């Protein structure tokens, strides 16, 4: 075979090989487009600091709005919002011997800061509160209420004639932290004990009615005692698994 023919055959083989490589390997622009698509998919997850114009938009599909509370939580003059949520799992609806169907789905909390026409989520805990229909044994279950007052968030449990307990949270260092706890032990209108914890100063005040069996508030004899607490890291609202288990006495 002549050198000319060998040259022609080699050129054809090289051209065919180059054509196959171009088809098998995407161009640089195609690679960039693919990479951008993957990044968009990764960024589609809801961020923790999600913003929206409606508090309802922050409630996951498997939860319902139980209550909403409005007030200023960060001293900027705007009406922030606390959303109390409740699970909707049908398996948590039980048949009670005395009360019939009872929804035992747990409740949670979402805290939103108002910024102009939008809200920003700053805290969330979806199952920290028991159901309002929880079995209280021989007593009715305590009644939960959440309040905003003077820039603080209060979680309050009222237990009728037996007293109450209350948790005080304040927004600092980018989270809601437990700075106080109060608890009373009463018999109707008469105080037996009152405990007040200040976790910022690490101090506890105890008020004891030394006339324990008094039947009227005017007969109370209150003795106050202060004691130091061991300093520890402040508990955050988002980290509390169950308020029913959060006690300090």
Specify whether 146 is located in the same domain as 248: yes
Check pLDDT > 60 for residue 21: no
Is the CB of residue 170 less than 8 Å from the CB of residue 147? no
Shared domain for 175 and 190, answered yes or no, is yes
Of 109, 138, 167, the residue that ends a domain is 138
Q: Final residue of a domain: which of 115, 138, 161?
A: 138
**The pLDDT of residue 180 is above 50:** yes
Residue holding tokens 């927004």? 171
Mean pLDDT of 150-157: 97
What is residue 140's predicted lDDT score, i.e. its pLDDT? 77
- Domain residues for the domain of 98 are 46-138
Those residues whose C-beta lies under 8 Å from the C-beta of residue 62, and which sit 6 or more positions away, are 87, 88, 89
Mean pLDDT of 6-14: 40
Judgement on whether residues 131 and 188 belong to the same structural domain of the protein: no
Give SS3 for 119.
strand
The total domain count for the chain is 2
Residues 134 and 166 in one domain: no
Q: What is the pLDDT of residue 138?
A: 62
Same-domain pairing of 134 and 190: no
**Tell me: the pLDDT tens digits for 186-203?**
999 999 999 999 999 999
Among 85-89, 96-100, 173-177, the range scoring the smallest mean pLDDT is 96-100
Nearest CA to 171 out of 246, 68, 80, 86 is that of: 80
Q: How many CA atoms lie within 13 A of 245 on its CB side?
A: 6
pLDDT value of position 19: 44
Q: Is residue 130 part of a domain?
A: yes
**Is the pLDDT assigned to residue 65 strictly greater than 70?**
yes
Average pLDDT over residues 23-44: 37
- Shared-domain flag, residues 109 and 66: yes
One domain for residues 186 and 130 = no
pLDDT bucket at 5, cuts 50 / 70 / 90: very low
Q: What pLDDT is attached to residue 42?
A: 33
Contact 148, 168 (CB under 8 A): no
**34 within some domain:** no
End residue of a domain, out of 121, 138, 155: 138
Is residue 106 a part of any domain in this protein?
yes
Look at residue 137 in the predicted model and tell me its pLDDT: 64
Q: Are residues 249 and 146 in the same domain?
A: yes
What is the per-residue pLDDT for 179?
98
Q: What is the rounded distance in angstroms from the CA atom of residue 214 to the CA atom of residue 232? A: 38
In a domain, 225, yes or no: yes
Interval 140-149: pLDDT, tens:
788 999 999 9
pLDDT at 13 over 70: no
In this predicted structure, which of 104-108, 166-170, 245-249 has the lowest mean pLDDT? Answer: 245-249
Q: For the ranges 110-114, 173-177, 213-217, which has the lowest average pLDDT?
A: 213-217
**Locus of tokens 């028991």:** 130
Q: Are residues 104 and 116 located together in one domain of the fold?
A: yes
Q: Tell me the mean pLDDT in the region 44-71.
A: 83
């Amino acid at each position: 075979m002549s050198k000319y023919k060998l040259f022609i055959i080699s050129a054809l083989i090289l051209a065919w090989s180059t054509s196959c490589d171009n088809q098998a390997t995407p161009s640089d622009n195609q690679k960039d487009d693919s990479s951008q698509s993957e990044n968009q998919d990764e960024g589609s997850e809801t961020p923790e600091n999600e913003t929206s114009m409606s508090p309802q938009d922050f409630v996951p599909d498997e939860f319902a709005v139980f209550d909403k509370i409005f007030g200023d939580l960060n001293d900027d003059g705007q009406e922030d919002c606390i959303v109390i949520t409740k699970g909707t799992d049908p398996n948590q609806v039980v048949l009670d011997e005395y009360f019939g169907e009872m929804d035992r789905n747990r409740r949670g909390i979402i805290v939103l800061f108002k910024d102009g026409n939008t809200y920003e989520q700053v805290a969330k805990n979806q199952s920290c509160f028991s159901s309002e229909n929880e079995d209280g044994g021989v007593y009715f279950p305590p009644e939960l209420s959440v309040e905003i007052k003077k820039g603080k968030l209060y979680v309050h449990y009222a237990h009728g004639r037996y007293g109450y307990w209350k948790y005080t949270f304040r927004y600092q260092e980018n989270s809601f932290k437990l700075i106080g706890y109060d608890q009373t032990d009463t018999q109707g209108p008469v105080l037996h004990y009152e405990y007040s914890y200040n976790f910022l100063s690490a101090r506890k005040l105890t008020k004891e009615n030394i006339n324990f069996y008094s039947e009227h508030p005017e007969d109370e004899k209150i003795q106050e005692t202060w004691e130091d607490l061991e300093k520890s890291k402040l508990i955050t609202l988002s980290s509390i698994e169950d308020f029913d288990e959060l006690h300090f006495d």
